[in-house]
C-alpha cells in the first residue's frame, strides 16, 4: 500500500521548490488560522522538566478534562497520537472486516480498514445533491441486508465537502447499524465548528457507536499529535489493549489539558470562522465558472471551470508559495476539484487574487 496524499506537506513543497517553509501559505491543511492559543507555549516551557519520565500511559489527567468537557465518564475516552492512530486502531481491535464508507471523504479510513485485512465499499454523496449524503438510500440498503457490512465510517462535518448531517439523521443511521449489530464510526475532527450536531450525547443509547475527535486542527497544533476517541467503556478497553504504550507524549498531554479550559480562544475562533468563511466564499464565487460548495467547517470545496484542472492550478499556485489541496484523485470527486482552508483575511485575499490570475491564463 502506498501512502495517501494529504494536505499540509509543506516540507515536500519547500524541498522541491527551494522555498523556505515559513514562506509557504498553507491552504492545503485545515488548521485554525488564528494559530495555537498562547497557553500552548507557556505550558510547553513549564512541562519540559517532565520529559525525563515516561508519559502517563493512561493519560489520566487529560481524560478527566476531556470527560468533563464532553459530559461522559473518563473510562469512555481513549487518547491517541493524533486521531490517525485511533483510525488505524479501530478496525484491528474491533475486527471490522467489511465496511461502508460514506464518501467522498478522508482517505485514511479506507487505508486503515484495508491494512487490517478488511473490505471497503463506498457510497458517495453526489455533486448534483451538493454533496448531501444519500442517507435514505444507505438505510434502505442496510435494511435489505444484501451485503455484509460490519461498520459504517462517516466524517461529520465531512472533509472535504464541508457538509454536516444533523443529529436526527445520525440517529437513523445509528438505529440501522444497531439493528444489524454493526459499528457506526463517526469522525468529528471538525465538530468544533458545528458543535450542536455532535453525536457524543447519543453514546449511552448506542453502545456500538464510536466517535473520533482531534485536537490538532481547532487548536492549530498538528505537530503535537493529539486525538481522542469516545465509546462505551467496554469498547474503549478493547481498543486500549491493542494500543502501543506511551503513544501520547507528556508535552502533548499537558498542552491538551491547558487548552481545553481556554474558552475565550474557542469563542474567538468560531466567531472568526463564521464571518471570514462567508466573506472568502463570496470572493471565490465572484470568479466566472468557479463553483464553491457551502461549508460548516474551516475549509471550502471548489470546482474549477471546465477548461482547467486541479493539478495545473495547484501547481501554479504552489509556484507562488500558496498550497492548496488537489482533490482530483480522491474517490468520488472530479479532476477539477480543490479544497482550500479558510485562513486569515489577508491570506484569503491573496489566494482569491492569485486564483483569479491563474484562471485568466
Ligand atoms: C477528517 C479527518 N480526520 C482525522 C484526521 C487526522 O487528524 P489528526 O491525526 O491530526 O488528529 C484528519 C486530518 O487531516 C482529517 O481530515
Q: What is the 3-state secondary structure (H, E, C) of 55-109?
A: CCCCCHHHHHHHHHHHCCCHHHEEEECCHHHHHHHHHHHCCCCEEEEEECCCCHH
pLDDT band at 324 (very low <50, low <70, confident <90, very high): very high
What is the number of the ligand 1 atom nearest to the C-alpha of 226?
A: 11
Atom of ligand 1 nearest to the CA of 217: 10
Q: Which CATH number fits domain 39-260: 1.10.357.10, 3.40.50.300, 2.20.25.160, 3.40.640.10?
A: 3.40.640.10
Report which DSSP code applies to 244: P
Q: What is the mean pLDDT of residues 3-19?
A: 79
For ligand 1, mutation pick of 10, 79, 159 (most atoms within 8 Å of CB): 159
User: Is it the case that residue 220 has pLDDT exceeding 80?
Assistant: yes
Q: Which atom of ligand 1 is nearest to the CA of 222?
A: 10
Q: Ligand 1 pocket by C-beta < 6 Å: which residues?
A: 82-84, 106, 155, 159, 187, 189, 214, 216, 222, 227
What number is the average pLDDT over the span 8-15? 81
Ligand 1 center from residue 347 Cα (angstroms): 23
Mean pLDDT (the chain) is 95
Ligand 1 center from residue 212 Cα (angstroms): 9
Which residues 6+ apart lie within 8 Å of 149 measured at CB? 98, 99, 100, 121, 142, 180, 182
Atom of ligand 1 nearest to the CA of 84: 9
Residue 140 has a pLDDT of 87
The beta-strand segments (E) located in the chain are 25-26, 77-80, 98-103, 119-124, 151-155, 183-187, 209-214, 227-230, 291-292, 299-303, 322-323, 325-326, 337-341
Average pLDDT over residues 206-216: 98
- State whether the Cα torsion 337-291-273-202 is positive or negative: negative
Atom nearest to 85 CA in ligand 1: 9
Mean pLDDT in residue range 286-307: 96
CA 87 to ligand 1: nearest atom = 4
* Distance from residue 80's CA to the centre of ligand 1 (Å): 12
Nearest CA to ligand 1 atom 12: 189
- Could you state, in order of their start, the residue ranges of all structural domains in the chain? 10-30+264-360, 39-260
For the chain, the distance separating the N- and C-terminal CA atoms, rounded to the nearest angstrom, is 38
pLDDT higher than 90, residue 189: yes
pLDDT band at 20 (very low <50, low <70, confident <90, very high): confident
Specify the CATH class of 10-30+264-360 in words: alpha beta
Let me know if the fold of 10-30+264-360 is the same as that of 39-260. Answer: no
CA 41 to ligand 1 center in whole angstroms:
23
Q: How far is the CA of 245 from the centre of ligand 1 (A)?
A: 21
pTM of the shown model: 0.96
- Cα(306) to ligand 1 centroid in Å equals 30
- Cβ count near 208 (within 10 Å): 18
Asked if 278 and 286 count as a contact pair (C-beta separation under 8 A), the reply is no
* Per-residue model confidence (pLDDT) at position 361: 62
Q: How far apart are CA 125 and CA 294, in angstroms?
A: 14
Among 31, 190, 217, which residue has the most ligand 1 atoms within 8 Å of its CB, making it the best to mutate? 217
pLDDT bin (cut points 50, 70, 90) of residue 142 is: confident
| CA dist 234 → 35, 212, 238, 241 (Å) | 36, 16, 6, 11
Residue that has been written with the C-alpha cell 515559513 in this structure: 22
Those residues with Cβ within 8 angstroms of residue 169's Cβ, 6 or more apart along the chain or in another chain: 135
Statement: residue 282 has pLDDT above 80: yes
Q: List residues bridging with 300 in a β-sheet.
A: 340
Q: How many residues does the chain have?
A: 361
Q: How confident is the model at residue 2 (pLDDT cuts 50, 70, 90)?
A: low
* CA 83 to ligand 1 centroid distance, Å: 6
Amino acid at each position: 500500500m502506498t501512502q495517501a496524499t494529504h494536505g499540509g506537506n509543506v516540507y515536500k513543497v519547500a524541498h522541491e521548490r527551494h522555498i523556505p517553509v515559513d514562506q509557504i501559505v498553507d491552504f492545503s491543511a485545515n488548521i485554525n488560522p488564528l494559530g495555537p492559543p498562547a497557553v500552548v507555549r507557556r505550558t510547553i516551557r513549564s512541562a519540559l522538566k517532565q520529559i525525563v519520565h515516561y508519559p502517563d500511559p493512561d493519560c489520566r489527567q487529560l481524560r478527566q478534562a476531556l470527560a468533563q468537557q464532553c459530559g461522559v465518564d473518563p473510562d469512555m475516552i481513549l487518547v491517541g497520537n493524533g486521531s490517525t492512530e485511533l483510525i488505524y486502531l479501530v478496525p484491528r481491535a474491533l475486527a471490522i472486516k467489511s465496511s461502508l464508507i460514506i464518501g467522498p471523504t478522508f482517505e485514511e479510513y479506507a487505508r486503515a480498514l484495508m491494512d487490517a485485512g478488511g473490505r471497503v465499499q463506498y457510497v458517495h454523496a453526489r455533486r448534483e445533491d451538493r454533496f448531501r449524503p444519500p442517507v435514505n438510500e444507505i438505510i434502505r440498503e442496510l435494511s435489505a441486508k444484501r451485503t455484509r457490512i460490519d461498520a459504517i465510517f462517516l466524517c461529520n462535518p465531512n472533509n472535504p465537502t464541508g457538509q454536516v448531517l444533523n443529529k436526527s439523521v445520525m440517529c437513523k443511521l445509528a438505529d440501522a447499524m444497531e439493528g444489524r449489530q454493526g459499528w457506526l464510526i463517526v469522525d468529528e475532527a471538525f465538530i468544533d465548528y458545528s458543535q450542536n450536531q455532535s453525536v457524543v450525547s447519543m453514546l449511552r443509547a448506542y453502545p456500538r457507536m464510536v466517535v473520533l475527535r482531534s485536537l490538532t486542527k481547532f487548536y492549530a497544533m498538528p505537530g503535537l499529535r493529539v486525538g481522542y476517541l469516545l465509546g462505551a467503556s467496554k469498547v474503549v478497553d478493547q481498543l486500549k489493549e491493542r494500543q502501543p504504550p506511551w503513544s501520547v507524549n507528556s508535552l502533548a498531554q499537558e498542552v491538551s489539558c491547558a487548552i481545553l479550559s481556554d474558552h475565550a480562544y474557542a469563542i474567538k475562533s468560531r466567531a472568526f470562522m463564521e464571518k471570514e468563511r462567508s466573506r472568502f466564499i463570496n470572493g471565490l464565487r465572484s470568479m466566472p465558472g468557479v463553483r464553491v460548495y457551502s461549508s460548516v467547517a474551516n475549509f471550502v470545496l471548489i470546482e474549477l471551470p471546465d477548461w482547467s484542472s486541479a493539478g495545473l492550478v495547484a501547481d501554479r499556485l504552489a509556484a507562488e508559495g500558496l498550497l492548496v489541496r488537489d482533490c482530483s484523485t480522491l474517490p468520488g470527486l472530479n479532476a477539477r476539484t480543490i479544497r482550500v482552508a479558510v485562513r486569515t483575511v489577508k491570506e484569503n485575499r491573496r489566494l482569491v487574487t492569485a486564483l483569479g490570475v491563474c484562471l485568466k491564463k
